[in-house]
Amino acid sequence: MNNVKTFVLMAGLMALFLVVGQLLGGFNGLMLALVFGAGMNFVMFFFSDKLVLKMYRAQVVTEQEAPALYTMVDRLRQRAELPMPVVAVAAQEQPNAFATGRSPRHAVVAVTTGILKHMPQEELEGVIAHELAHIKNRDMLISTVAAGIAGALSYLPYLLMFGRGGNRGGHPILALVMALLAPLAAMMIQFAVSRQREFEADRVGAQILGRPEPLANALRRLDAMARRIPMQVAPAAAPLAQVNPLAAQRGGFSRLFSTHPPTEERIAALEALPIGR
């Protein structure tokens, strides 16, 4: 069901992108949307891992530099039947983790220095299993495409209004409204995609580990500490973290702008799994 929801959200994001191009620039706008969107996704596809590592101030580490972490990732990735990912550590006090890269063979698993300091080994295994689940599910590619389209949509109205691709006979009020609302709608859809993938990664992560309790306990700890310890990271990279690294968004209208589902809902879903029982 989560995969179906993700497909619907991705289709809606792409449709929104093309409709904006069509409304603001006619056929020329539609073509510009296709070309510009493809270009943004090309850049995101091949260079997203480097960009994300830079946003989190993460550095790749070798087995000699972080033997315990490297051994844990290697053991769990074998259980997940995945190639060995690159391992990185981000110089961030907040306990958190993320995965990036365009495919399982070009993947990175990164943890913060804070999680290595504060997280018990069993819970850290749950965190790593969750990130490996993202790799196994190819969620990084989905997130990259969503971010690429959303980013392109943020610039597209301005290109069409002020560039040669614009429809000079179009309505200027419509152009202004689309320039303001389209990026907001794209961001909401992008965050919804991210939220759906988190539930699926929790489920698959519990399967990799063989039981859901370590990941559920890790999420409790991560959520509590993320509220107390701030992290300096670009909002565009926030959806990749295991829990929201910027601020907890709970209830009401604010949930539309949350990069993650509520942690209590994720824990409840994990505790309802029959795995390990």
Beta-sheet strands, E only, within the chain: 58-60, 86-90, 97-101, 107-112
Give CA angle at 106 (205, 222), nearest 5°. 35
CB 99 within 8 A of CB 77: no
Reported as type and span, the H/E element at residue 228 is helix 213-228
Neighbouring CB atoms inside 10 A of 230's CB total: 13
**What does the H/E/C string look like for 74-140?**
HHHHHHCCCCCCEEEEECCCCCCEEEEECCHHHEEEEEEHHHHHHCCHHHHHHHHHHHHHHHHCCHH
Catalytic residues: 131
Rounded Cα distance, 147 and 154, in Å: 11
